[in-house]
Structure 1
Amino acid sequence: MKTLLQITSSIFSSGGQSSQLADQFVDAWRANHPDAQVVVRDLAQNPLPHLDAQRVTAFFAQPEARTPEQQALVAESDALIEEIKQAEVIVIGLPMYNFGIPSTLKAYFDHIARAGVTFRYTSNGPEGLLTGKKAYVFATRGGLYAGTPLDSQTGYVRNFLGFLGITDVEFVYAEGLNMGEASKDAALAKAQQQLATLAA
């Protein structure tokens, strides 16, 4: 049975434009995979703590040397990693906030990037361990940024996922959402057409 992991990173939870596009894709995808399991991780409803020295120390400590407090911190990260490991398909709703990704998504990324667990260092450089997955990213922006130096999201998200071994990544953009109703409607219509094609 296939598993799809949907990551919602809008501060408006399911009410965000990126979340709504991701939801539409997941609904269409589920229609074509009726036996599949869909897991939703909403980072607005259940935000993760930002990375700090205490967590990094717990991650780096040898398992047998971890204190009970460190074990609890690692267990939280382990659960997130197991969740994404089990998913063949990953869907990310990605709004742009102040030219970057939501801080909640960065916190999530920091929890799942673990040396020896989701990637490893080799004599040929780092090697991602989360291979064999397909990712879809629904990026919504108020202005027009794709293909410009101000698009800090696309390269970062693609590089991060690739670092973990997720190299098959498809981006769908809905831009100009704050540039008037006509621009917004056209952008959302185009994105909806693209997601319908991808889901099929």
Structure 2
Amino acid sequence: MIKHADLPDTIPIFPLGGALLLPRARLPLHIFEPRYLQMIDDALKTSTRLIGMVQPNVVPGREGHGLHTIGCAGRITQFSETEDGRYMITLAGMSRFRVTREVEGFSPYRKCDVSWEGFDLDLEEEETDAGFKRKPFLDALGRYFEVRGLSADWEALKDADDELLINSLSMMLDFDAEDKQALLEAPSLTTRRETLMTLIEYALRGGSEGEVMQ
């Protein structure tokens, strides 16, 4: 099994607002900007094929986009090129990391030195959530989907493992970048599920402390 010691200290960074990658999850991406096409080319030449997904962090009064401190590295596991030179890739979430500094250089994309310390569980077997009460969670999710006019394969949701269900919803649902960051930084699957439930309930209240939307 891969260990953090096997992972590089410097990785390419893809700052994409609202795009969340979690350990042991998969994220499909459509790559078309020239600098990120170059990033994919370069990553495919490495043994780890890692790319760090990080939420941009807009700081008032500061020019350009900063980066949130914590991101998640994914390994390119699927790759195809379209006739017009775009890439369709799939990242498999490996481990979260902490950005220690941005590396100056001549590449058209950003690179950062990172620390893997504190994220040992990310490389272990999938997590479980012992306190997960699935029925009330799915009831709230059903109301959320109804309000937003969304559909779902409810049988698949009922049968999905805890981690697959919670992480997939965390990645898929339309929360803002700061909420996605909170889901990423959750220290355990239980904490992520609690955060996810809070966000769903907040959305059902219309983003206020008022009555729940019907």
Fold conserved (TM > 0.5)?
Answer: no
> What TM-score do the two structures reach when normalised by structure 2?
0.20
Higher helix proportion: 1
> What TM-score do the two structures reach when normalised by structure 1?
0.21
Higher strand proportion: 2
